[in-house]
């Protein structure tokens, strides 16, 4: 096991009817900005519940945060924060709204520099406004980590940052607010969480991380068992609760402690989203089977273990059958796993590998996935 | 899944050579009190490493904290804290030292009242001095939770408390410092951690807690796989690291979220320790198979699941064979599972059940383990 240092201070407020509890979590007298996305929270009742609780505070709203949130949008919220003297932000939404809010609270305290530096130059975040979240989509795990991914629309740069100052103070996880999500969002969320675990688990496995491996397999098993059921029974509380909790754990940092991490699938996927606008999970479903196939030798022990523990696969061609099982699972969740499913083709391979070459990025836990190998991976996924 | 609210802010500093990192975790200029136990840290080098790091601070020592730490001892440390104006406490030891330190930091800030009320009347802890820990024995999980158990020697009361103010700010987990522990302590530690998980897992299982069950089984599997190996190869880094991490997770609160909890084995065990001085883990190894046997019907689904997932037991008499497997595992770890192994007999059953009757305590997740049933449980364990 590698040495590590880690803390995760996020307070989780879990269960049906929990939104009202946020009143106790925000300091009295705070000026609150509520951030949200495209307005689905106005249709499913979450907006009304939140506004009801915020009545005790001076509060403002900032809606319209898009999926794969834009730097340009975030900076509008920063302006509002400065104008109104906001001192607490409440993100109400899925990963995009929470990610955007992390950047907003950091940028609002960045001082005189250009906050874009936080993303482009990994400039240190030295403080941030406090914020909390009300989660409406189980997927990214952003509700219990300090990381965010932001896109600059102008340049199609999709970049990540994280800081100890950008953990939510609290996150409300009420499974009932996910009941009204369309099947596409359920599928995307399960695929996203699945691949988060894989990035921290499916590595060359030189490290002995027995506990972390069992934990990762625990999360994957919940996703594989409960994901398809959620498509069938979207309003079953326990199914949605198990999925919500599993998605949070997929990326709250604990399973990565002491372990090697990959993240190649995400890095490649981000470029596909930036160029072609595919949903984040769609790109992961395309890329992961390719990464597993091309890196089969390096990752063989863990792929075999994944097959046995999560999919019950053993014996002849276990590695190949496990890769197929992953692809089949994504398809079962309604997420297509080939570029052609989205009207794309071999051109993606060139475009993405060229962009990675420009950036000088080599990917993967062994730092051996060159732009040429990325091209090979994507050509397998046409 | 039950609704819950939970946060665990403890920063974990894990790995060989980590003790030196504490210098960055204690505010400059702090007056530090180092608390420890019987002096084993002077033999295994931990004392010297700690003193070396504390050279940058004004610091004092308080040694001699006993196993099952005494209220009377803690109050001596509180006196020293007040005399010297201490503002940070560093616990160096196992669960007893860390538990004692939690009480000490709370009692030091208790104001005018008698700090015994924190234990006897569950009086609220409203503040506490900050403290950190350097863990030297993997067992209780105290390094990553806010709870403590303290004994009043005078009255043989062994009572628990916990507060959001008594989480360690940080805990150093360096597996190499556990290399020199005698086999008895290795066995005790593994049994203690095993039973911690069982208390949060082996319940009537009306709740659908799929993730938490898989996580609990993950920890139990690590203990069952690695525990016996640690007895054979006490200086194997990965084995000790896996056990250390599993023990911490056995009682850091996360597996209990949303789940039912039992704790009858612990409550009965505490009384045996208070009356007869047995090690905490010895009492758990005696009591748990009795609790499982007497509560077999109520807990049958979970016992069967434990057997299948952790011990690979299925088929005829799976429940009974699983109870036997638990007992066999404790014996394999060198911890005797019957009262006779400690020179005790049926008298324990009367004494403990009478004490519980005096207290008016009914135990278990269904609140149905009366003093009479406790007697029945203990008579099975002669």
- DSSP label of B361: -
B2–A15: do the CB atoms touch at under 8 Å? yes
- Has residue B307 got a pLDDT over 90? yes
Domain coordinates in residue numbering, chain A: 11-176, 183-379
- A279 backbone φψ class: left, alpha, beta (φ>0; ψ -120 to 50): beta
Chain B hits for A249, Cβ within 8 Å: 211
- Residue A132 backbone dihedrals phi, psi, to 5 degrees: -130, 175
Closest-CA residue of chain B to A206: B238
Asked whether the beta carbons of residue A1 and residue B258 sit closer than 8 angstroms, the reply is no
Give B 340-379 residues with CB within 8 A of chain A. none
ipTM: 0.96
A312 CB near a chain B CB, below 8 Å?
no
> What whole-number distance in Å separates Cα of residue B54 and Cα of residue B29?
11
Q: Are strands B58-62 and A170-173 parallel, antiparallel or unpaired?
A: unpaired
User: How far does chain B reach from its first CA to its final CA, in angstroms?
Assistant: 38
For residue A257, list chain B residues with Cβ-Cβ distance below 8 A. 12, 14
Percent above pLDDT 70 for chain B: 100
| Nearest of A6, A14, A4, A2 to residue A237 by alpha carbon | A14
CA gap B350, A206 in Å, rounded: 54
CB contact under 8 A, B211 and A242: yes
Between CA A20 and CA A17 the distance in angstroms is: 7
Angle of the B210-232 helix axis to the A237-250 helix axis, nearest 10: 50
What was the pLDDT predicted at A110? 95
CA distance A378 to A353: 9
Contacts of B219 in chain A (CB under 8 A): 211, 214
Distance from the A339 Cα atom to the nearest Cα atom in chain B, whole angstroms? 33
Q: Verify whether the Cβ–Cβ distance B214 to A211 is below 8 Å.
A: no
Q: How far does A278 lie from chain B, in Å, by closest CA?
A: 30
Q: Is A166 helix (H, G, I), strand (E, B) or coil?
A: helix
Pairing between strand A131-135 and A88-93? Answer: parallel
pLDDT at B37 over 90: yes
Distance between CA atoms of residues A283 and A277, nearest Å: 10
Give phi and psi for A273, each to the nearest 5.
-60, -45
* Pairwise CA distance, residues B134 & B90, whole Å: 8
Q: Which CATH architecture has domain A183-379?
A: Up-down Bundle (1.20)
Token look-up 């160096």 returns B92
Burial class for A112, CB neighbours closer than 10 Å (0-12, 13-18, 19+):
exposed
Would you state the structure tokens that stand for residue B307, as one six-digit string?
Answer: 């057997």
Give the mean model confidence (pLDDT) for residues A141-160. 93
Neighbouring-strand partners of residue B88: B32
* % residues pLDDT > 90 (chain B): 95
- Supply the pLDDT for residue B246: 98
Q: What is the pLDDT of residues A160-188, one digit of tens each?
A: 999 999 999 999 999 999 999 999 999 99
Model confidence band, residue A196 (pLDDT cutoffs 50, 70, 90): very high
- Which residues fall within 8 angstroms of residue A309, CB to CB, at 6 or more apart? A217, A221
Asked: is A11-176 a CATH 3.40.50.1970 domain? The reply is yes
Binning pLDDT at 50, 70 and 90, where does residue B206 land?
Answer: confident
Specify whether the CB–CB gap between B107 and B177 falls below 8 A.
no
How many whole angstroms separate alpha carbon A9 and alpha carbon A290?
36
Over chain A, what is the mean pLDDT? Answer: 96
Of the candidates B97, B275, B302, B324, the residue with the CA atom closest to the CA atom of residue B199: B302
The answer to whether the beta carbons of residues B150 and B74 sit under 8 Å apart is yes
CB atoms within 10 A of CB A171: 25
User: What are the tokens at B48?
Assistant: 């010297």
Q: What pLDDT score was predicted for residue A111?
A: 87
Whether the Cβ atoms of residue A88 and residue A104 lie closer than 8 Å to each other: no
Tens digit of each residue's pLDDT (9 = 90 or more) over B334-367: 999 999 999 999 999 999 999 999 999 999 999 9
Collapsed DSSP state (helix, strand, coil) of residue A111: coil
Task: Give the DSSP H/E element, type plus range, for residue B33.
Answer: strand B31-35
Give the whole-number percent of chain A exceeding pLDDT 70.
Answer: 100
Residue with tokens 């880094």: B237
Helical pair A280-294 and A371-379, crossing angle rounded to 10 deg: 100
Report yes or no: B224 at the A interface, CB cutoff 8 Å: no
Per-residue pLDDT reduced to its tens digit, B130-144: 999 999 999 999 999
- How would you class B113 by CB atoms within 10 Å of its CB: exposed for 0-12, middle for 13-18, buried for 19 or more? exposed
Structure tokens at A83: 């104008």
Kindly report the nearest CA distance between residue A142 and chain B, in angstroms.
16
Residues of B (16-45) whose Cβ lies below 8 Å from A:
16-18, 21
Average the pLDDT over A45-70 and give the result.
95
- Per-residue pLDDT tens for A232-276? 999 999 999 999 999 999 999 999 999 999 999 999 999 999 999
Q: Is pLDDT above 80 for A206?
A: no
- Tokens matching residue B318: 């799976």
Residues in Cβ contact with B189 at an 8 Å cutoff, skipping those fewer than 6 apart: B137, B138, B139, B181, B243, B247, B281
- Separation CA B364–CA B367 (nearest Å): 5
- For residue range B81-91, what is the model confidence (pLDDT) as tens digits? 999 999 999 99
> Residue A39 has what pLDDT?
80
Note whether A11-176 and A183-379 share their fold: no
Both tokens assigned to A3: 């040495």
SS3 content of chain B, % helix, strand, coil (to 5): 55, 15, 35
Contacts of A235 (CB under 8 A, 6+ apart): A179
**Residue A215's pLDDT band (boundaries 50, 70, 90)?**
very high
The encoded tokens of residue A92 equal 């109400």
Q: Best interface-test mutation with B: which of A214, A250, A258 has the largest number of B CBs within 10 A?
A: A214
User: Which tokens belong to B75?
Assistant: 């109050």
CA B38 to chain centre: 18
- pLDDT > 90? residue B205: no
Maximum pairwise Cα distance, chain A: 65
For the domain made up of B181-379, give the CATH fold: Dehydroquinate synthase-like, alpha domain (1.20.1090)
Q: How confident is the model at residue A205 (pLDDT cuts 50, 70, 90)?
A: confident
pLDDT tens digits, B76-120: 999 999 999 999 999 999 999 999 999 999 999 998 889 999 999
Q: Answer for the pair A189, A137: CB distance below 8 angstroms, yes or no.
A: yes
Q: For residue A214, give the nearest of B6, B12, B218 by CB distance.
A: B218
User: CA A330, CA A326: separation in Å to the nearest integer?
Assistant: 6
Helix (H) or strand (E) holding A157: strand A157-162
Distance CA A269, CA A160 (A): 13
Shortest CA gap B155–chain A (Å): 38
Whether residue A33 contacts residue A51, with contact meaning beta carbons closer than 8 Å, is answered with: no
> Which of A3, A9, A208 minimises the CB distance to B9?
A9
Pick the closest to residue A126 from A165, A161, A162, A94 (CA basis). Answer: A165
Q: Which SS3 state, helix, strand or coil, does residue A150 take?
A: strand
Chain B residue with minimum CA distance to A21: B5
Distance CA B199, CA B288 (A): 9
For A267, residues 6+ apart whose C-beta sits below 8 A from its C-beta are A356, A361, A363
Could you give the CA distance from residue B249 to residue B14 in angstroms, rounded to a whole number?
Answer: 13
B2 reaches A (C-beta below 8 A): yes
Q: Which among A9, A11, A226 is the nearest to B5, CB-wise?
A: A11
Residue B207 is predicted with a pLDDT of 81
């Amino acid at each position: 096991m590698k040495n590590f240092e880690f803390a995760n201070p996020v307070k989780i407020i879990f269960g049906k009817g929990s939104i009202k509890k946020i009143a106790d979590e925000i300091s009295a007298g705070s000026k609150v900005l509520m951030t949200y996305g495209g307005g689905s929270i106005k249709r499913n009742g979450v907006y009304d519940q939140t506004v009801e609780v915020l009545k005790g505070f001076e509060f403002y709203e900032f809606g319209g945060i898009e999926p794969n949130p834009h730097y340009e949008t975030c900076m509008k919220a920063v302006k509002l924060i400065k104008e109104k003297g906001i001192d607490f932000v409440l993100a109400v939404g899925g990963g995009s709204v929470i990610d955007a809010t992390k950047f907003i609270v950091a940028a609002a305290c960045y001082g005189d520099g250009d906050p874009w530096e936080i993303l482009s130059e990994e400039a240190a975040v030295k403080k941030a406004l406090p914020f909390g979240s009300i989660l409406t989509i189980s997927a990214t795990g952003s509700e219990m980590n300090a990381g965010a991914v932001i896109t600059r629309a102008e340049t199609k740069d999709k970049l990540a940052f994280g800081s100890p100052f950008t953990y939510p103070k609290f996150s409300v996880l009420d499974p009932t607010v996910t009941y009204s999500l369309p099947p596409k969002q359920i599928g995307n969320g399960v695929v996203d969480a699945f691949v988060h675990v894989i990035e921290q688990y499916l590595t060359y496995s030189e490290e002995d991380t027995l506990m972390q491996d069992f934990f990762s397999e625990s999360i994957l098993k919940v996703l594989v068992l409960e994901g398809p059921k959620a498509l069938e029974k979207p309003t079953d509380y326990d199914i949605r609760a198990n999925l919500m909790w599993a998605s949070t754990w997929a990326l709250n940092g604990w399973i990565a402690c002491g372990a090697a991490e990959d993240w190649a699938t995400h890095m490649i996927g981000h470029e596909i989203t930036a160029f072609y606008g595919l949903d984040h999970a769609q790109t992961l479903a395309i890329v992961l089977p390719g990464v597993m196939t091309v890196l089969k030798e390096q990752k063989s022990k863990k792929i075999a273990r994944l097959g046995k523990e999560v999919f019950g696969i053993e014996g002849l061609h276990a590695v190949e059958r496990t890769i197929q099982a992953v692809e089949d699972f994504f398809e079962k969740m309604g997420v297509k796993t080939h570029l052609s499913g989205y009207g794309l083709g071999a051109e993606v391979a060139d475009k993405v590998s060229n962009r990675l070459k420009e950036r000088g990025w080599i990917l993967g836990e062994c730092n051996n996935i060159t732009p040429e190998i990325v091209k090979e991976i994507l050509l397998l996924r046409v």
